Chains A and B, each alone.
Chain A
Amino acid sequence: MTETENPVHPQATATRPAGRPGEGATYRRLELKSLGELAALVVLVAVFTALNPGSFATAVNLQTILDQAAIPLIVGVGATLVILMGSIDLSVEGVMGAAGMTFVLLSANSRDTVDLGLWAIPVALAVGVALGLLSGLVHTRLKVPSFIATLGVWFVGLGTATVLFGEAAIPFLAEGSLQSWPSGRTLGLPNSFVLAAVVVLLGVAVGRFTRLGRHAYAIGDDEEIARDNGVRVDRYKLLVFLVAGGCSALAGVLASLQLGAGSATVGIGTLFLTIAAVVIGGTSLGGGKGGILRTALGVLLLTVLNNGLILSGVSPNIQSGVSGAVLILAIVAAAWPHRSRLRIVK
């Protein structure tokens, strides 16, 4: 989770803020750097179109891909902010389970529990934010590394979902309620993707223009310097974990809608996919470098890859292997030009 470059020169700490390029230059450099991922996406699309002439490049399949990308896109917004800060959020799947179960049990369902209608969504989001609060408090107050704090909250979320599930029959969402919303279309795009796009754009705006986002970058770049410059590090860390919890909860609600039923393990596989996408997108696990749009590109890359492989008849068993190999290729390619005997990478 760490990347400390040139710690050989202690004075670098002092000179770094002055040596930082201006905002405009940073954006331009980011865009140039993203060309690799964009090129990879274009190549993938071209290859899969050639391999599956009738099935890949169709409107129906495009909608499938966008629908599949929605959940990792939403989770990716929170995950990117946390990783930018130099921390990590492993609680994604647990939070998705707890928020999803809350949502299902508070909507019209086959168990006839309470029906709050649309109000079930804010309650589910509140559950996610509360779990984010727990992660953030354990991390900032007890000084437990975020890795372990969010690992604990993963199980707490999963346990909460399992307790809510109880021993009764599976709660299915009632027909005709919100259930059909994610697969509906707005302007020809799946509603789930439209929702994800809105969340991504909001995330980009938060990352670029708000104090929360800028402080996340500052904390990730160098926490000590951020603190010395008056950033209330603990408060902003806590806030970022709240946002991440909210994003995971929203993804949990969406996943439950897509599934049409309540399940504690509704988020299974999301963590691996999202973190791989964040890293492939080029956000540094050490913090301070990267962005939400990069993650979105990473998500699309992995989703297109998985979709194309299935269409090409590759066994689903090797899918995680392909994602893993792509992840390794991407990070090795990104790190190769920077190799130096004195560089410290953990």
Chain B
Amino acid sequence: MTRTPEDTTLEQRTTAPATAAAGPSRRRLGPAAVWQTVGPLAVFVALFALVSALNPAFLGGGLRILALQATTILLVALGQAMVLHVGSIDLSNAAMAILSAIVLAMTLGPLAAAAPLVCIALMTAVGAVNGALVAYAQVPSFALTLGTLGILQAAALVVSDATTVYVTANREVLAPLFGTAMVGLPAGFWVAVVLAVLLWVLLRSTRLGQALTAVGLNETGALFSGLRTRRLKVLAFALSGFLAGVAGVMIIAQAGAASSFGLGSDLLLPGIAAAIVGGTAITGGVTNPIGVVFGALTVALIPIAAAAVGVTPQAQSLVYGAAIMVAVALTMTRRNRGVVK
């Protein structure tokens, strides 16, 4: 997340037109570049193979459960990846997902099909406010979103009156998301995957996406190249809010109820871990949303794998922590080498 002047000058030399950086690096694929692309997939496949070998029954319905659990992690992780992509961090997006779920649970009855749209729009606006504060007041995103996290948690408690809010009517509006399956996996998971592919296209093939990459790789250079860096940062945070809003919809579609301490209340750290395990550089500019899909699947698989190899429930978080560190050490993008903070 840190760029020293040293790094900046180095990149100014090597990737002067930062927007063109993707081109040459794609043509000469060294072992590191190959690993950067397939690493998240390889780690997931290895872990999945391990679980399947130890517990063959898992191959039956396991993948479906895994996709179910990975959906919200994936959405939050994609938002996190977009913010990490411009070199910032968003500690508030999981709290946004919960708030979105609580608001949705309360409005789904009266507003029916419009309610999810309202919630997603609301969270997009909250994300944009985060981004505007980071970009225009020039405060560190880590501290700012820590503050927003506190405010959103309080908002969730006040709105829900610190209890569980149940959907009273119109639950069938969201039923198709996890009631129907495509290729054996819930439709909601595919929605998240489609969003990941769209983000991949955005980053790879559009001028806007390349501009975001430029901000992440070298913000000063991007600024001097005439990019509207502040608006781009607002966009990244708004995307994070948008995806958190969608994650909230998924929580309601899965559980039919929401509370500040129930399903989805601990998404922040898995979300960050999934983004990093998916190959996102914490320093910015290197993000592969498709990799994040496998990052989210890996992070969701770790507890299942731990149970499959016979780890007691008490030791689960121990294994989780150790596995996150190993997975990150294996898949972390080390392109922006130099100082690691």
A residues with a Cβ closer than 8 A to B are 1-4, 6-8, 10, 12-13, 86-88, 94, 138-139, 142-149, 151-160, 162-163, 165-167, 222-224, 272, 275-276, 279, 285-287, 315, 317-328, 331-332, 334-336, 338-346
Contacts and interface: CB of A to CB of B under 8 A. Distances in A.
Contacts of B231: none
A227 B333 CA distance: 23
A47 B55 CA distance: 63
Contacts of B151: 320-321, 324-325, 328
Contact of B322 (A6, A88, A152, A327): A152
A155 B1 contact: no
Nearest to A338: B138
Given A324-B150, A345-B140, A318 B157 contact: yes
B182 interface: no
Contacts of B144: 328, 331
B144 to A, nearest CB: 6
B88 A346 contact: yes
Given A1-B1, A1-B140, A328 B339 contact: no
B139 A166 contact: no
B325 A342 contact: no
A279 B144 CA distance: 10
Contacts of B324: 148, 151-152, 155
Contacts of A335: 137-139
Contacts, number: 231
B134 interface: yes
Interface of B: 1-6, 8-9, 87-89, 133-134, 137-144, 146-155, 157-158, 162, 219-220, 223, 269, 272-273, 276, 282, 284, 312, 314-322, 324-325, 328-329, 332, 334, 338-341
A341 B223 CA distance: 9
Contact of A332 (B4, B137, B341): B137
A2 B1 contact: yes
5 contacts: A7-B8, A158-B318, A320-B151, A327-B147, A328-B144
B321 A152 contact: yes
A321 B158 CA distance: 10
Contacts of B8: 4, 7, 10
Nearest to B154: A321
Across the A-B interface, the 9 shortest Cβ-Cβ residue pairs: A159-B318, A324-B150, A321-B154, A155-B321, A152-B325, A327-B147, A328-B147, A156-B321, A317-B157
